[in-house]
Amino acid sequence: MDVQTAKVTATGTNADTGYDSFKLGGFEFSRDEYFAHIKWPKGTHIIEIDRFLRAMVRDIGWGFFYGWIFFDDIFGTTNHYGTVDIFAGAYDESYKKQGIDHLETFPAEVVKEAFETISRNWINEGYDPLRAPLETGTPIGSKAKESTAPLVRGFTPATRMLGLEGDVPVRSDKTGHPINRAFEDLEFDTPDIECEPGFEGQLHAFNLFDHIARSDVTWNPSITAVTRANICCVTSEEHMLPVIHGNDRNEWFIQLTDEIHWKIADKNSGEPRGRIVMKSGDVCAMPADIRHQGFSPKRCMLMVMENGTPGLEKRYASGELKPYPVNFDE
């Protein structure tokens, strides 16, 4: 796999809209009032700007996540944990058949810098792609005042556990996170902590629902607890996951409140594999060979369990591990 050495460069400013265009390797990126335009040596693509920016800032914040991030059916990234592919049509049968697909590999840092540079230039004040559409302004229109708000947030992982002394704080009024409008009807009891002498400061508990109810971002799993490679993330979801995630390992979902509708397709071909409606209390394992996208009609709470074992993606890719976690035939 050839790794590109080129970095992102600005290639000019559009006189009508005020936005800059950019080049990274063989990919060119530009935007107008409504759309992002992507070009590569044998093709072009167009993505609605809201979708593009919501996908791009999450891809940065997630550190390119596990496996594939499709911004839509055609364009996206693949994480190789150190390097990242940017692809167009590389997982679409007809693009491949026509020979107009394209894929380039870059150091992860280079893609991060490129995506940050593009997002910064294309995001105006009043629009926050991490918020639910009902809770932010619109990204459409010409360049106005560039937003100076942090591009990504809410990802800071807990070292041991949220709220322990010296660790990431639990969200509260004090941290500037009011209860979201959707969760105002919930009761938020605080747990009693009764500690044996000698263990003060080591035993801890908090109301996780209270913490999630105060999230001001959506589709943005943040690490609340880590036990070796077992990573427990929680997130509040509303509207649609602005990417289609292609798994490179199993993922477990626990639906904590309300419901999410998942569209599930074959990872490589995009052929439909299933629909799942997860309701409060449902648990679901997403296999390692699928791509999926969630739709949440109302804001809800989701727990995502990831297996962070290094090299796991290679063991699934080689077929050493079955793509699903349980075999009911054996």
Instruction: Give the nearest distance from C-beta 46 to ligand PHB in angstroms.
Output: 24
Whole-angstrom distance, CA of residue 289 vs CA of residue 315: 12
Instruction: Give the nearest distance from C-beta 305 to ligand PHB in angstroms.
Output: 10
235 binds, among Fe ion, ligand PHB, none (CB under 5 to 8 A by kind): ligand PHB
Written as six digits, the tokens of 69 are: 């991030």
Are 70 and 291 in contact by the 8 Å Cβ rule? The answer is: yes
Work out whether strand 68-70 and strand 43-48 pair parallel, antiparallel, or are unpaired: unpaired
User: Using N-to-C axis directions, what is the helix angle for 49-61 and 108-122, rounded to 10°?
Assistant: 140
52 φ, ψ (degrees, to nearest 5): -60, -45
Supply the Cα-derived Rg of the chain in whole angstroms.
21
- Which uninterrupted H or E stretch holds 61? helix 49-61
241 binds, among Fe ion, ligand PHB, none (CB under 5 to 8 A by kind): ligand PHB
Q: Which of 329, 263, 253, 325 is nearest to 288 (CA)?
A: 325
221 binds, among ligand PHB, Fe ion, none (CB under 5 to 8 A by kind): ligand PHB
Give 139 or 154: the residue with its C-beta nearer to Fe ion: 154
Are 252 and 304 in contact by the 8 Å Cβ rule? The answer is: yes
106 binds, among ligand PHB, Fe ion, none (CB under 5 to 8 A by kind): none
Instruction: Give the nearest distance from C-beta 125 to Fe ion in angstroms.
Output: 32
Give 171 or 245: the residue with its C-beta nearer to Fe ion: 245
- Identify the sign of the CA torsion 203, 219, 279, 273: negative
Give 123 or 302: the residue with its C-beta nearer to ligand PHB: 302
Instruction: Give the nearest distance from C-beta 293 to Fe ion in angstroms.
Output: 9
Written as six digits, the tokens of 161 are: 């556990």
Are 263 and 295 in contact by the 8 Å Cβ rule? The answer is: yes
Give 202 or 309: the residue with its C-beta nearer to Fe ion: 309
Of 240-259, which residues contact Fe ion (CB under 5 A)? 245, 251
> What strand order describes the sheet that includes 27-31?
9-13, 20-24, 27-31, 35-40, 43-48
Instruction: Give the nearest distance from C-beta 243 to ligand PHB in angstroms.
Output: 7
Instruction: Give the nearest distance from C-beta 273 to Fe ion in angstroms.
Output: 14
Strands (DSSP E) found in 163-258: 222-227, 230-240, 244-246, 251-255
Give 127 or 219: the residue with its C-beta nearer to ligand PHB: 219
Instruction: Give the nearest distance from C-beta 155 to Fe ion in angstroms.
Output: 16
219 binds, among Fe ion, ligand PHB, none (CB under 5 to 8 A by kind): ligand PHB
In the complex, the residues that contact ligand PHB under the rule CB under 6 A are: 219, 221, 235, 237, 241, 245, 251, 302, 304
312 binds, among ligand PHB, Fe ion, none (CB under 5 to 8 A by kind): none
Give 54 or 245: the residue with its C-beta nearer to Fe ion: 245
Which residue has the CB atom at the shortest distance from ligand PHB? 245
Written as six digits, the tokens of 321 are: 């591990």
104 binds, among ligand PHB, Fe ion, none (CB under 5 to 8 A by kind): none
Give 245 or 299: the residue with its C-beta nearer to Fe ion: 245
Written as six digits, the tokens of 133 are: 């559409």
Give 20 or 248: the residue with its C-beta nearer to ligand PHB: 248
- Residues in contact with Fe ion by the rule CB under 5 A: 245, 251
